[in-house]
A and B are shown apart, each in its own frame.
Chain A
Amino acid sequence: MRLQTKERFIGFLLVLPAFLVLIFLYVYPLIRAIWTSFLKDNHLTWANYGKVFEIYSRDVLYSVVMTTGVVLVVLVLSILLASYLRFKEWRFLDLMYRLPLFIPFLIVGHAMRIFLAPHGTLNNLLTRILRVEELPGFSRSWIGLLWTFVWVMTPYAALIVLGAFRALDSSYIEAARNLGASKAKVVFTVIMPMCKPSIMVAAILTFVRTISSLTIPVMIGPNTPNMITVDMMFRINFFNDWGVANALGVVSYLIVVVLAVYYLRFMATERGGIKG
């Protein structure tokens, strides 16, 4: 009995550091943020959320739609890329698609501004090809933002998806081809269903990273509507209004939580269904 208590205590000591890190770096800030979001002039109130709803509901919607759009485009691109590389060894492409992983967001943002500006690289090219005088720039539009997000996020997602595709035993693919399935058919009927968990992970990571990204929307995004993160920054920088900023933060957190719950439920059925 005594030994057991002692063992328990040692066990507790062992997990304590990890536990403390979790508390200080995750749980505490989260609770603080939620707490602050209900404070206005030192009173507990829904006022901050009222403001979020009043001023920023369009931006919240815009963030969700933009992020969902990014996720969809990124998934399509990374599945295409991963399918191609699963069937065909191509060293060059295999290296090139990872390149954006090593470029900081700030530099990407700057590069895209130059590339997408009204008289930037892209438009110079387009005006010459289309033989027109002027073209609007994409650098301050939703198209530019989507483009840049996709450029930044695709390598991460592709890395995950390709890893899963490559880990899939070839016999599953060969069995399908042997029975008459073309490569495209194999991707849809065998590879994608069998790699669904990894594709889900790629989608969710892309979603979270996109909706919480600040650098890129600040540098590329249109002035209005804005991503939630940009609104938070303005709230703090110009109004020193931590209450509304935190309320916005909690809203974006809730969006992610909905996703997390969905993901966990999916994983549970997946495990029950396939792995037994």
Chain B
Amino acid sequence: MAVLQAQGLYKSYGQVKALDDVNIEIEDSELLAVIGPSGSGKTTLLRSIAGFVQLDSGKIFIKSKDITDLPPEKRNVAMFFQNYALWPHMTVFENVAYGLKIRRYDKKAIREKVEWALDFLDIKSLAERKPNQLSGGQQQRVALARAIVVQPDVLLLDEPLSNLDAKIRMRIRFELKALQKKLQIATLYVTHDQEEALSIADRIAVMHNGKVLQIGTPQQVYKEPVNLFVADFIGVNSIVRIKPLDKDIVKVGNLEFQPQQGVLHLVIRAEEARVLPAKEHVTLKEGDLKLEGIIMGKLYLGSKHRYEIKIHGIEEILFINSEEAFKINEQIQIIIPKDSFFVYWQ
């Protein structure tokens, strides 16, 4: 049973379509990540579920109840704000207790629940501090405690990790995931970091210009992107564009493609491609792509190199990482497995 259903959401700001026929569902205790470039409508989607955006049309259901016209305070969805939005005049305890006080729990129940939440997030010792006496990471935990303590039907997270530095982000990412699974709370997680989404989501929704282009498991979105945008947005890629001459068959490396309308876009998952010396013999599997080229430049990246590669017969330069060492101007071949490149005509 879906906890949250959003059906046909539309919202425009003047000419800008922030939401353009958005349909999503979140299952019980599922974590749905919404990703997309800046301005694709992620925050607008989240805020419309929380009730802070007046939709042009569409319906939102929580546990089958239509909440489209309810004010924010009647929705029982908890939002986590990017800047945490902890109230500076209240202690950590009071911040976390706020939602419970509003819900008219008695003193004892409030104390128990707040202590449970603080314990859960490992910040019990901070209860009497004010938010300005906390580090960024601690504030984040308080904000989370404040959101989960009211036992919301849906948890909404808007780029929760964007204020933290890269190292901590990696760690907290998994903590968040573990926490969400332990609480079994349906969660909508907005991020523009595709790697973050791939690593923690049960399913991913890719947004662009207010539209949801694809929803699926991380594997589906990564392995079977529905269009060029999704293919390019997910993963680390190199793209080659080829304009067919006349109505000839288009040859790329060892493969041939029937010409269609527009330009051929070849999206290559740079993480999956293998660079080998030109002379080395390889047996290709059916459908694998082999390109031949020459090393134009290289960047040292620690455990590997990033190579700038010119492919014979193609103007664009590819960027591919490899652990093996090649010299500039060395002739090489690139092997790309069948499910690691995608062809689109556009």
Contact check, A174 vs B132: say whether CB atoms are below 8 A apart. Answer: no
CB neighbours of B146 from chain A (8 A):
175, 179
Contact check, B87 vs A172: say whether CB atoms are below 8 A apart. Answer: yes
Closest residue of B by beta carbon distance from A275: B132
Q: A179-B146, A276-B132 are contacts. A174–B88 as well, Cβ < 8 Å?
A: no
Contact check, A169 vs B83: say whether CB atoms are below 8 A apart. Answer: yes
Binds B, one of A116-124, A154-162, A185-193: A185-193
A234-276, CB < 8 A from B:
273-276
Contact check, B89 vs A274: say whether CB atoms are below 8 A apart. Answer: yes
How far does the Cβ of A198 sit from chain B's closest Cβ, in whole Å? 14
CB neighbours of B99 from chain A (8 A):
179-180
Q: Does B133 contact A (CB under 8 A)?
A: yes
B45-99, CB < 8 A from A:
50-52, 71-74, 76-79, 81-83, 85, 87-89, 98-99
Contact check, B150 vs A274: say whether CB atoms are below 8 A apart. Answer: no
Contact check, B89 vs A193: say whether CB atoms are below 8 A apart. Answer: yes
Contact check, B73 vs A181: say whether CB atoms are below 8 A apart. Answer: yes
Contact check, B89 vs A175: say whether CB atoms are below 8 A apart. Answer: no
Q: How far is the CA of A186 from the CA of B102 in the complex (A)?
A: 10
Contact of A174 among B52, B74, B103 (CB under 8 A): B52
Q: Does B17 contact A (CB under 8 A)?
A: no
Contact-size category for A? 20 to 34
Q: Does B130 contact A (CB under 8 A)?
A: yes
Q: How far is the CA of A90 from the CA of B248 in the complex (A)?
A: 64
Contact check, B78 vs A178: say whether CB atoms are below 8 A apart. Answer: yes
Q: How far is the CA of A194 from the CA of B130 in the complex (A)?
A: 13
B233-270, CB < 8 A from A:
none
Q: Does A171 contact B (CB under 8 A)?
A: yes
Contact check, A194 vs B88: say whether CB atoms are below 8 A apart. Answer: yes
Contact check, A174 vs B87: say whether CB atoms are below 8 A apart. Answer: no
Closest residue of A by beta carbon distance from B143: A175
Closest residue of B by beta carbon distance from A190: B87
Q: A276-B132, A276-B133 are contacts. A182–B73 as well, Cβ < 8 Å?
A: yes
Contact of A177 among B72, B83, B103 (CB under 8 A): B72
CB neighbours of A189 from chain B (8 A):
98
Closest residue of A by beta carbon distance from B146: A179
How far does the Cβ of B113 sit from chain A's closest Cβ, in whole Å? 13
CB neighbours of A182 from chain B (8 A):
73
Contact check, B102 vs A181: say whether CB atoms are below 8 A apart. Answer: yes
Q: How far is the CA of A193 from the CA of B83 in the complex (A)?
A: 19
Contact check, B150 vs A180: say whether CB atoms are below 8 A apart. Answer: yes
Contact check, A174 vs B79: say whether CB atoms are below 8 A apart. Answer: yes
Q: Does A176 contact B (CB under 8 A)?
A: yes
How far does the Cβ of A106 sit from chain B's closest Cβ, in whole Å? 42
Q: How far is the CA of A60 from the CA of B71 in the complex (A)?
A: 50
Contact of B130 among A177, A179, A274 (CB under 8 A): A274
Contact check, B81 vs A179: say whether CB atoms are below 8 A apart. Answer: no
Q: How far is the CA of A171 from the CA of B133 in the complex (A)?
A: 20
How far does the Cβ of A19 sit from chain B's closest Cβ, in whole Å? 36
How far does the Cβ of B152 sit from chain A's closest Cβ, in whole Å? 9
Contact check, B102 vs A179: say whether CB atoms are below 8 A apart. Answer: yes
**When each residue 176-214 of chain A gets 1 if its CB lies under 8 Å from chain B and 0 otherwise, what string results?**
111111100100011001101000000000000000000
Contact check, B85 vs A177: say whether CB atoms are below 8 A apart. Answer: no
Contact check, B132 vs A179: say whether CB atoms are below 8 A apart. Answer: no
CB neighbours of B103 from chain A (8 A):
180
Closest residue of A by beta carbon distance from B88: A274
Contact check, B85 vs A169: say whether CB atoms are below 8 A apart. Answer: yes
Closest residue of B by beta carbon distance from A182: B73
Most buried by B among A171, A177, A190, A273: A177
**When each residue 133-161 of chain B gets 1 if its CB lies under 8 Å from chain A and 0 otherwise, what string results?**
10000000000001000100000000000
Contact check, A174 vs B98: say whether CB atoms are below 8 A apart. Answer: no
Q: A181-B73, A182-B73, A276-B133 are contacts. A171–B81 as well, Cβ < 8 Å?
A: yes
B145-184, CB < 8 A from A:
146, 150
Contact check, B102 vs A185: say whether CB atoms are below 8 A apart. Answer: yes
Q: How far is the CA of A180 from the CA of B85 in the complex (A)?
A: 15
Which of A's residues lie within 8 Å of B, judged by CB? Answer: 169, 171-172, 174-182, 185, 189-190, 193-194, 196, 273-276
Known contacts A175-B146, A179-B146; can you find 5 more A-B pairs with CB under 8 A? Answer: A177-B72, A178-B78, A178-B79, A181-B102, A274-B132
A-B contact pairs, 25 of them (CB 8 A): A171-B81, A172-B87, A174-B72, A174-B79, A175-B81, A175-B87, A177-B51, A177-B52, A178-B73, A178-B77, A179-B78, A179-B99, A180-B102, A180-B103, A180-B150, A185-B102, A189-B98, A190-B87, A194-B88, A273-B130, A274-B88, A274-B89, A274-B130, A274-B132, A275-B132
The 8 closest A-B pairs by CB, nearest first: A179-B99, A171-B85, A175-B85, A180-B102, A177-B72, A193-B89, A171-B81, A178-B79
